[in-house]
A and B are shown apart, each in its own frame.
Chain A
Amino acid sequence: MSQQGPTNPLVSLDRVSFTYEGGGSPAVDDLCLDIAPGDFLGVIGPSGAGKTTLCSVLSGAVPHHFAGEFRGVATVCGMDSCEVGLTDVSRKVGSVLQDIDAQMVASSVEDEMLYGLENFGVPHDQIPGRIGEALATCGISGLLHREVATLSGGQKQKLAIAAILAIRPSVMVLDEPTAALDPASSLMVFQTLRELNRREGITVVVVEQKVALLCEFCRHVAVLREGRLALLGTPREVFSHSEELRSMGVDSPRVTRVSNLLRSRGLAREGDVSLTVGEAAALVSRVVGERGSLAWAATRPPLRLEGGRRHGEPTALELASDPMLTFDHVGFSYPGGTASVEDVSLELRPGELVAVVGQNGAGKTTVTKLMNGLLKPSSGRVTIAGLDTSRARTSQIAQHVSTLFQDPDRQICKETVVEEVAFSLQLLGTSDAEALSRARDCVEHFGLPAEAAPFSLGRGQRQIVALASVVVTNPEVLILDEPTSGLDYRECMTVMEAVEVARSRGCAVAMVCHDMEVVSDFATRVVVMADGRVLADGLPGEVFADEGLLARACVAAPQVTQLARRLSADVSRGYEGVTEVHDIVAVTEGLVG
């Protein structure tokens, strides 16, 4: 990127290494990176690759706020960050932390906006104008007089961006700004960042795990691994290495995997890398058009997928057994009437994995809390393993149900990993000796350090500890609230494989999830929610095929489903109902002979 460009880099890291005090190995190691003015750089990498530390190096928090050993030279906007103070760097580099609630220094929007402007001594007559502009650019002018506590996650994220923007920094560094947001809000945050980058010329550096966003918005993508730069280039260059990325624990967009697979099969040309559904559709059309016989293809019946069973269709076991969990016209509203659910009816059978999807505030989390008895229905009935949740105590219900919460830190309370996992069994009445021995097996299975303190592990590892303590009890019902958010690709697969194992043993699984790729890969049924009501309950294929329904629930279909839909309309009916990358390529191969 900028190394070849004529302009001097705005940020330049020259062999930067940093080891946190008390940390064994360096968090970033001999890192060299130049960022040109006006760039929009996305940073991705597996957990523990040094992404957050990179943000800290750029913002000056390393070495000024965090203690440790710093080597190399970090030059930011012409300043050597070691030679000036954090405040000097902050005039040029605005930084938004991962924990958005911790980022807030005031309790009202106006005070939050004022804070940086006041401190950096912006003349008071310019302040209202600056605030107005920054709020307008972020599209939140109407929020000026609100209290921070009343804002949604997406609004808080935009407020944090606006508060930095008002200071007019040259560089903006954001650490996973969309981790806690639904797809629609995530998209809005990136649109805001693009505005700043294009209109204000601010250089943006953003750590992000959602690869589709990186592809759509970033000019360059840097991949970190073990504190070093593994790959750097345009999204097209970087994601053309999808196999290599996967081995590192980094996901690629599904449509890019389609084009990469077509290339490896010799069907597409070198340089054919699709980043969006549109590009992939155009590529497949071209491949089929160049080499295939469309007349034959148009009359070919839909391809049967492997195993003779369409993905998501219930197995004999699922159909034969009685439901483990039933919602019978369930209603619930919080005191004060904020979020609520109305007239929800659904069933969950052993061996099923039901995904509950919808926007933030659609009532998904309320439904999961009604399932595990944390909330009792105000109308209707929830029955779980024969227990009416209104009559049973939550701790009794816990004998049958395990919940994996989005934030593992709420679940963890013991001093070592193995004690933590054993505690779940002890709560169910297992003897201490047996609990410890089963916990040891489980901890070993997940490759966790048994004697380590859970809180000393990274975020992803803590989630796996929480997962281990949830599945070790072999629950009859498993509830997952955003099980994969904040995890890298490999950790995500570890979680979902454990869920599949539980399911194959007859566990009924309910999962709230924003990642439609995960939903389409693993769910046997999808429940779509909006405004506290169930809009649809069906097979993933059927639900994702209904464009009107998805639009009403503000949910986007998985990329492969969108691609298959386009291809079945434009190229061949053979693509109808296809949900997997490999099947798209298989159908294409069939068509070109």
Chain B
Amino acid sequence: MASVLDYSEGTTLLHRANPVTKVVLAVCVCVATFLAQGYGMLLGVLLFLVALGAYAGILRRTLALLAGFLSLGALMLLVQTVVVRSGTPLFLWVTDQGLDRGARVALRLVAFALPLVMMLSLTRLTDLANATVEVLHVPYRYAFTITTALRFVPIFSQQMAKIVEAQTARGVDFDTPNPLRRLRLMLPLAAPLLISSVARADDTALAAEERGFYLRGRESSYKRYPFSAVDLACLLPGVALVALGALF
């Protein structure tokens, strides 16, 4: 089953760029989002991300992610309209300032989360770990911990799906149309998931240790991660975006 964090094959500039460059580009987008004040700029950032997705051949995934984050953003919008009480009332409890603040928060949330997840689907986790160790001098054990945690996310969500499946077959009504009830039913299953996850993480740690984990240093990686013109090409739009964000 393909998950949003799975690496997507390709040969575009974004695929070929140094993993560190991709992290920097994603961070640039986040910074630009943070600096941007106007709707035009925020929407522009989202458009830029969709265009990047299309270029890298992950348009469908980008749009699916966008839809997912937008629904989360809609929830944020709703919360903000309730929290913000200043401004002129428009309808029900919503004020014009509340709506404005909510919409900005929602768009920022989406534009913040999307580039980070997109970066992960265009970078192999091993490359990300190796490059951060080589280029940024991050100690390997931290790089390994973070990338392994990311690698486990889809594995655990599959595991949870299987647990839910087994419980449904047993008669627990996970197929109820009520989402709150579903959530309440899911809570007690956190224990079995946690137990199997901890056991698995410990096994992976052992497997890594038995293949020389503690010997690994900056020079160990077979693949090298030098910077090239490709990285410059990827960084320029990022820098431009930050400048635009500061201006608009």
Contacts and interface: CB of A to CB of B under 8 A. Distances in A.
A427 B169 contact: no
Contacts of B192: 409-410, 412-413, 455
Interface residues of A, number: 60
Nearest to A466: B166
Residue with the greatest number of chain B CB neighbours at <10 A, chosen from A99, A106, A374, A413: A413
Interface in A574-590: none
A87 interface: yes
B40 interface: no
B184 to A, nearest CB: 14
Interface string B7-27: 100000000000000000000
B85 interface: no
B15 to A, nearest CB: 13
Contact of A120 (B148, B151, B215): B215
Interface in A155-175: 163-164, 167
B54 interface: no
A469 B2 CA distance: 33
B169 A413 contact: no
A186 interface: no
Contacts of B174: 394-395
B222 A106 contact: no
A35 interface: no
Q: Give the interface size class of chain B.
A: 35 or more
Interface in A379-396: 393-395
A95 interface: yes
Given A394-B168, A398-B169, A413 B209 contact: no
A339 to B, nearest CB: 12
B167 A413 contact: yes
Contact of A427 (B125, B170, B175, B203): B170
B219 to A, nearest CB: 9
Contacts of A119: 211-213, 215-216, 220
Contacts of A424: 170-171
A559 interface: no
Contacts of A372: 169
A101 B155 CA distance: 9
Interface stretch (A12-20, A109-117, A432-440): A109-117
Nearest to A173: B210
A117 B162 CA distance: 35
A401 B171 CA distance: 9
Nearest to B189: A413
B222 A103 contact: no
17 contacts: A86-B209, A90-B209, A97-B206, A103-B207, A105-B148, A106-B126, A107-B126, A116-B212, A119-B212, A119-B216, A374-B169, A393-B175, A395-B174, A399-B171, A410-B166, A427-B172, A428-B171
